[in-house]
Each structure stands twice: as C-alpha cells, then as structure tokens.
A and B are shown apart, each in its own frame.
Chain A
Amino acid sequence: MAQINNILLVDDDSMIRQLAEMSLSQLGGFTVKACDSGKSALLALQSFTPDIVLLDSNMPEMDGPETLSKIHSTTDFSNLPAVFITGETRPDEIDKLKALGAIDVIVKPFDPMTLSDQINAISDQL
C-alpha cells in the first residue's frame, strides 16, 4: 500500500476536469494538478511530482494511451502509476486500456461523491 498525495489529472473536458479536481481535493484531501491535454501534462511533470496520474483515455491530438506511453518513457516517471478515465463501457475496451499499463480504469459516468474512495482503494493495490 502506497500513500497518494499528489494527483496529476488530464482531461480535455473542462467540466469533468473541474468536477474531478474539486471532488479529489475537497472530499479526498489530495493535491491535484489539472491539465487539459497530454502535452500540457508532460510540461507539468517538470514542476509537479505526482504519485499517480488520472488520464482521460479519449482526447484529441494526443490521446490517453499515447500520453501514458510518453510519460512512461521519461526517466523520472517510468513507473508512475496510471488510471484511465474512460467513457467506454464494453469490457473488451476496458481490458485493452488495462493492458496498456494502467493499474485501473474508472468508467464514466463516475460518481463525484466517491471518486476519492476509488482512488484510495486503488492506492491499496500499489
């Protein structure tokens, strides 16, 4: 079990970003850095050291899987635990995302009231 304090959140939808950030910081007490694209997430990593990254799987330009592989190819974050947030509901699509090196997948719609609990549950697996 690892302690999670800092979360890097990447989602291109500003509403989801605000909601998840609010839920994770206010209800979960986490420190959250929110980014609107894979590119800005990679930039953010220069000044922010997350314990976990939450990635929207479906983003324009650089999608979630691509962002993750770029993050994992940096020396400092080659083992950064990642969780995909996805609108996919089909089990095979979810398995595919897990196979890309994410430790878990959170399916949209998610419940903002329990999102932090989900992250805490995931941290128990680390």
Chain B
Amino acid sequence: MNSKKTAENFNAALQQLKESYTARLPEDFAKIKHTLNELDNQSCHQSQLENLRQLFHKMAGTSGTFGLSELGLKARAIERKINQKIKSGRYELSADEISELKTDLDKIVSVSTVMDASASFEASEKMMPAVEQLGNRLWLIEDDQLLANELKRQFETFGYSTEVFHSLNDADIAAQKQEPDAIVIDVMFEEAKLNATEKFGQSSNLQQLKCPIIFMSAYDDFDSRIRAVQLKAKGYFLKPVSVPAIVNHLRRVFEAQNLPGSSILIVEDDEDLAQHFKLVLESAGFEAKYLLEPERIIELLNEFNPEVVLMDLHMPGYSGIELAGVIRQHEKWMSLPILYLSAETDIEIQANALEQGAEDFLTKPINDVQLISTVRARVIRTRQLDEKISRDGLTGLLKHAVIKEAVNHEVTRSHRNSKPCTVVMLDIDHFKAVNDNYGHAIGDVVISAISIVLQQRLRNTDIIGRYGGEEFVAVLPECSAQQAYNIFDNIRQSFNQVEFTSDNKKFTCSFSAGLICTEDFPGLNGEEMLVSADTSLYHSKKNGRNQITSASDILTPMDRSL
C-alpha cells in the first residue's frame, strides 16, 4: 500500500472513530450528571469528588485527541476547578457550588451538540476563539482605578466592551471560565510582592488563553521588551499610552488571525484527497474549491480568483510544474502563490519546482493542522504584499488612486442595478494645528484613530480610502443619502469623544464631511460625484466645521444634470 493510500484509509478510519466517539458522548455526560446528582443528596466525600474529577479529566484528554478542542478545553477548565477544591481539603460542596458545576456541565453539553461529527477532523478549529470574527470583548487589567475608568471609556468609544480587573489574580480566576477577545495589562504595579510582569508569568489560567495580550509599560529597555515577547505578549506600548494606537494594533493582530473570504484552489487528481483538503480548509474558514481536470485551470482561476493554489505535483498527463508554467504565462497570475502537494522526498525535483516559481512544499501525508497553518501563513504574506502596493501604510486604507477607481466602479454599478450608492468625503478639522502643536507623530495617531472608527462603523461592503493627508473617502453601496448622513453623524459624535494624549496634554478632534448619493444625482459619473462631495465638504467647513452636508441640500437642480 503506498503512503497516499495509507493516509487516506487512516483518515477515513479516524473519521469513523471520531463519529463513534461523538456518539458515545451523551453516555459520558449522563455518567457525570449521575455523579453530580449523587453529590446533591448526601454530604460529599473525597472519593466522590475525585471520581468527578476523573470523569472530566478523561473527557478533556480524549475529546481533545479526537479534535474536539473546545470541548477539551472546557472539560479541562472544570477539572481544574474541582482539583482546586480537592487540594483545599474541604470536600463538602455548597448547593451553589453544585449548581454551578451543573451549569458548567450544561454548557459543555451544548458545546458538544453543535459539533458535527461528520465534519472533517479539524472541524473543531472553527469554534476556537482564534478564528472568530473580529472580537470586541476586552479585559483591562489596571490597578489604578482612575486610569482604568479613563481607558475603559476610551476603548468603549472604539466599540470594545471593556471589563476592568484591578488585580491579576481576579483576572486569572475569571480566565478559568471565560476568554475575552483581547487583554490589555498595565505591567507597572506590584501584586503579591511580585512585579506585574512576573505575576502574569505565574498566572496559569491567563497564560493558557489564546487571545492577544498587550502590555502597557513605562520601561523601554531591551530586557523588559524581551520578557514581554517571552510571555507571548502581542504588543508593547509605552505609558502614557495612546488608546487609538492600541486599537489600531489590535485590529492588525485580529486581521492576521482571521482571514475572511480567502479562497483556495486545490488541483489534485485524487478526488477523495481533494475533498478532504477542501473540508479541512473550509473548517478553518477558507473558501475552497478543487479541480480534477488540469486542462480547465485558467478557466477556473478566472472564475474563482483564488489567493493560493494547492497543486499536486504528479497528476496523470501533466506534472504540477508544467501546469505552474502555464499559469505563469498569464500576466494576471504571475504572482499567484502555488503550494505543491507532493509525496516527493527528492530534493532535486523540489528544487526544480522552486525554480519554476513554486512557493513551498507540503509533503504527503499532510497533517491537517500543518495544512491550515501553511496556507494561512501564505495568505497573510500575500495580503501583506498586496497591501504594501495598494494600501496606505499608516491607516491600512486604500490609497488615492485605488479609492478613486473604486468610486468609479461603484457609481457605474449603481447606475446599472438602479440601487443608490453614496460617496462621502471627510476631512479632519484644524489638522494643521494638531501637527504644529503636538508634532507629526501625534498627527499620525489622529489619522489612524479616524480610520479605525470608520472601519469599525462601516459595513464590510463599504470601501474606505485615504484620499489625501487628512482627507478620507468612503463609498457606501446600496445606501441612501439620509442613511449615510445618519451613520456619519453618529461616527462624528463618537470621534469627538476620542481623547488624544501628547506629553500629558489632552485634546480632542472633530471632522467635517460632505456626501452625495447617486439617487439624487443620477447624471453624474464617479469623478463628478467626488467633485460634488468635495463641494459639500467645503460647505461644512465654511459653516463652522464638525458637521456633515448632503449635496442635495446645497446643489441646484442644474448642478444635478452637470
């Protein structure tokens, strides 16, 4: 039996086994429930508690091994809770404690019922916190109550629901039960005679969380920074911190974890294997398609527009290297990343393929986790490169030429499908004064702050660009002038709330905007829409700034037929 077949058979058997395991779960839950009910009826003995711990312990190890990671983690958390109880030497459980355990059990039962045993082995990854949608639950660990309140207020203006902990210990206890989307820790305090960094290093529950953790510190030395990296901090900010800068950083961290809409094309002649790869990639949130006939490769590329191609090195008729050659003949696909799937251990063949423009090799049998992480890393790198080309470095928004093209495209589309489309142009008020008074670095913070607020408040389908220095353009398809006005007025009000800090001086900013909708001016093309949006913006500025003007309020019908 060759190794490919072995892997396939193994995967199939694995799948079957996983299905039997999921089928057995209700029985395991019933056992636990029974033990819990016994606790209810009599005073508790060490042996009963130990028995309960064992049951959760088993579930944690076994479910994790069968790829049900979320169930595994939850069971582990309960096991740890019971273990602490046993270690404390007090074996009686209060009615409250018992009912808490029952609630915990109900929670993991509900986790397990949403699992689909027929999904691929790594399907549980779908439910891991790391790949959830951009998160907004933030934990702030800050001993200084006043500062905590102020930071909380600012984070909340960016849409984070923020829970404050005044000690690492409290946060560590909370981490047993729940996980936020991100944690920000002030490491400049002492707790239990340890500095906060070391105390954090010993907080075992916090350490096990998968969410990004950001340090705020007053130390700028190498040792403090390397310690933060060792403790897996995803960011390090010097105090006094700029909340907009942290929010901007978090957004990038989330984006790297979460890659919406990336599509992968699999070229593989073995349909079972192709199907398996597709399932694995889909379970990790990718969109995947496979192609069994290599002759249709260009057709499918144009149709599906993938970000990465996974290509079997050996297929009947053509080699993967030859196919890559054909792909590279098309200018559009010159830089499309190709990952080869190969059973080859032959260095020469791989070297040859690399010369032909392959990015990397995955050697079969391919571990699901490895497949996901390799593809994810490739997508991130490709996007970073694309971004460098089409996106503004400071804000991550589209550059001038790209947003202009997007306006043209959307306005044309709106004429075609007779649905409204609104173009908004906005400009930060008195931005020159910000730069003059506080310096360009702070000016950059203000610019990234407005870009974050825009990205958080607008829909995924809206397109946002940095049009000039402090000038921004947004295109909102299927949105009327009135709807756009309401959205931007709301954004304007929350941007007024954002507090900026420079050398301990605090200040706020505002913006003015002008907007125009295709519905009101059906005769205008993209270019003309931008001119009119700019005229409306100018009107807002002239009228006292910090306001929004709709073109339909100031432009005459004659302008409308421009």
Contacts and interface: CB of A to CB of B under 8 A. Distances in A.
Contacts of B383: none
Contacts of B54: 58, 60
28 contacts: A13-B58, A13-B62, A15-B24, A16-B61, A18-B17, A19-B14, A19-B17, A22-B10, A22-B14, A22-B17, A26-B6, A26-B9, A26-B13, A27-B7, A27-B10, A27-B365, A58-B54, A58-B57, A58-B58, A87-B60, A108-B64, A108-B65, A109-B63, A109-B65, A109-B69, A111-B369, A112-B14, A114-B367
Contacts of A108: 60-62, 64-65
A113 interface: yes
User: Does more than half of chain A's interface fall in helix, strand or loop, or is it mixed?
Assistant: loop
A110 interface: yes
A73 interface: no
Contact of B13 (A15, A22, A87, A90): A22
A5 interface: no
Contacts of A19: 14, 17, 65-66
A15 B21 contact: yes
A89 interface: yes
B72 interface: yes
A26 B365 CA distance: 12
Interface residues of B, number: 28
B437 to A, nearest CB: 53
A22 B308 CA distance: 33
A14 B57 CA distance: 15
B368 interface: yes
Contacts of A18: 17
A16, A19, A23, A113 pick with most chain B CB within 10 angstroms:
A113
A105 to B, nearest CB: 13
Interface string A50-88: 000000001010000000000000000000000000110
Contacts of A109: 61-66, 69, 72
A69 to B, nearest CB: 21
B289 interface: no
Contacts of B14: 19, 22, 112
A111 B13 contact: no
B65 A112 contact: yes
A37 to B, nearest CB: 14
Nearest to A113: B367
Interface string B6-34: 11011001100100110010000000000
A110 to B, nearest CB: 6
By Cβ-Cβ distance, the 5 closest A-B pairs, closest first, are A109-B64, A108-B61, A87-B61, A109-B65, A113-B367
Contacts of B369: 111
Interface of B: 6-7, 9-10, 13-14, 17, 20-21, 24, 54, 57-58, 60-66, 69, 72, 76, 204, 365, 367-369
Contact of B17 (A15, A27, A89): A15
A110 B62 CA distance: 9
B10 A26 contact: yes
A90 B61 CA distance: 13
Given A58-B57, A113-B368, A114-B367, A15 B62 contact: yes
A16 B62 CA distance: 6
B304 to A, nearest CB: 29
Contact of A15 (B7, B20, B60): B20
B452 to A, nearest CB: 37
Given A15-B20, A27-B365, A108-B60, 6 more contacts: A15-B21, A22-B13, A27-B7, A27-B10, A109-B64, A109-B65
Nearest to B1: A26
Contacts of A112: 14, 65
A86 B397 CA distance: 49
A110 B61 CA distance: 8
A123 to B, nearest CB: 20
Nearest to B3: A27
Contacts of B66: 15, 19, 109
Given A22-B13, A110-B65, A87 B21 contact: no
B497 to A, nearest CB: 44
Interface string A80-119: 0000001101100000000000000000111111100000
Nearest to A114: B367
A22 B12 CA distance: 11
Contacts of A22: 10, 13-14, 17
A13 B58 CA distance: 8
Contacts of B58: 13, 58, 87
Contacts of A111: 65, 367, 369
Contacts of A23: 10
Contacts of B10: 22-23, 26-27
A28 B62 CA distance: 21
B60 to A, nearest CB: 6
Contacts of A110: 65
Nearest to A109: B64
Nearest to A22: B13
A26 B58 CA distance: 25
A30 to B, nearest CB: 14
Nearest to B366: A113
